[in-house]
Amino acid sequence: MQKNPIVAFLLIMAFGIGLIFFLSVEGVEKKKEIAEGHGEGEATEETAEFDPEAFAQSKCIACHGGDLTGASAPSLVDTKLSQEEIAEVLTNGRGGMPAGLVPAENIEAMAEYVFSLE
């Protein structure tokens, strides 16, 4: 039984090569998954950055109503203002409408969203 050590060695080698092959194929598939997952992750990050709708739901509904069609403050859905005028109201406030609710860097996105409600 002198062959036995070599047979065992060859078996281990074959197993090792098989394992490497399996892991690399598996890895390529995982890479695709990770790449796709990462794409989605980026999309969520972008929305997390500034989501005018979510922002309105947390900061504007108290006065403008749950669906922004007006409560103690006038409706935002049928405002006659232009997008620039909306941005101007958000920046400087007007009457009972407080200034500085929307961070300066997000005013444009917010104005665009409010304008799109019309």
> Is 65 a residue that touches ligand HEC (CB under 6 A)?
no
Contact status: 87 vs ligand HEC (CB under 6 A): no
Binding-site residue total for ligand HEC (CB under 6 A)?
Answer: 23
Stretch that binds ligand HEC, among 22-30, 31-39, 42-50, 56-64 (CB under 6 A): 56-64
Residues 51, 57: Cα–Cα separation, whole Å: 10
95, 104, 105, 116: residue in contact with ligand HEC (rule CB under 6 A)? 95
Instruction: Centre a 10 Å sphere on the Cβ of residue 87 and count the other Cβ atoms it contains.
Output: 20
Cα angle 11, 15, 20; round to 5? 150
Residue given tokens 């794409």 in the structure block:
39
Token pair 């860097």 is at which residue? 105
Per CB under 6 A, residues contacting ligand HEC are 56, 59-60, 62-64, 73-74, 76, 79, 81, 86, 89-90, 94-98, 101-102, 110, 114
